[in-house]
Amino acid sequence: MDVDKISNSIQKLAIEELLTYLGQHGILVWRVAPNVFIALDYETRHKNLYRVSIVSIPLSEDFLLKSALEITYGVKLYTGQDLRNILRGLVIHKEYSHALGFLIPCETEVKIVNRSKGIVGIADIVCEDCVIEIKSGSTLRKEHIYQLLIYMDSLHKPYGFLVYEDRVLEFSLDKNLGLLSEAYKRLYEVYDKIRSLAKNLPHYKDKFLKRFNMKLDEIIERLNNLTLIV
């Protein structure tokens, strides 16, 4: 797979083309500022559930405030480059699935709802007895393992693989039950932090969100003025 070619092609897309392609994948996007976009997708349609992807976010104030805005308004917040990265991931997942399809049947972007655990998520690739999560870069993070294990547990798959740019790591669910418990604990703890921030957003209104090059109160103003037609 020529990942660089995929990336370069996506970088050349006009923003209107980018939004059209994402719409074909069920991701509806609106621009609310020059480089701030809001999106609705499968996870936002289940706003009362825990998003599994949250388990892997960095616990910096900037990311936590972004997540607090997202759960408060029931949307996702992205920069233009975030959107290009999402489309890049979708294309790569599809290419991997096609390649694996010669050996075993696989599906991409598999939607997950586990109401007993209160979670919602989208697994990159799901095959007969395994889940495959594809990560950019080459740095293994424990939070990536957490995300994979929760997907494996919810989909009742005994094996999982983390695919990085330079290696593939295999995991067995029955050998990592301790890590699975840690994963759920981490997810719920992160959400506790996010919800605490969400209740106190006015106290942070002058906070500068580096990711979007905007102050928090400016983004809140735009979100408050939104009228979404879905």
Residue 228: per-residue pLDDT: 64
Residue 230: per-residue pLDDT: 53
CA pair distance 106, 97, nearest whole angstrom: 6
CATH number for the region 3-199 comes to 3.90.320
CA pair distance 216, 200, nearest whole angstrom: 12
Residue 181: per-residue pLDDT: 97
Residue 29: per-residue pLDDT: 96
Tokens 């580096």 sit at which residue?
Answer: 210
Tokens 């939607």 sit at which residue?
Answer: 111
Report CA dihedral (148, 100, 90, 54) to the nearest 10 degrees.
0
Our CA angle for 45, 98, 108, nearest 5°, is 15
Neighbouring C-beta atoms of residue 193, cutoff 10 Å: 14
Residue 18 near residue 90, CB atoms below 8 Å: no
Task: Kindly list the averaged pLDDT for each block of 10 residues, start to end, along the chain of length 230.
Answer: 87 96 95 93 93 91 94 95 95 87 85 94 94 87 95 97 92 97 96 94 90 92 77
Give the residue among 106, 101, 114 at the shortest CA–CA distance from 149: 114
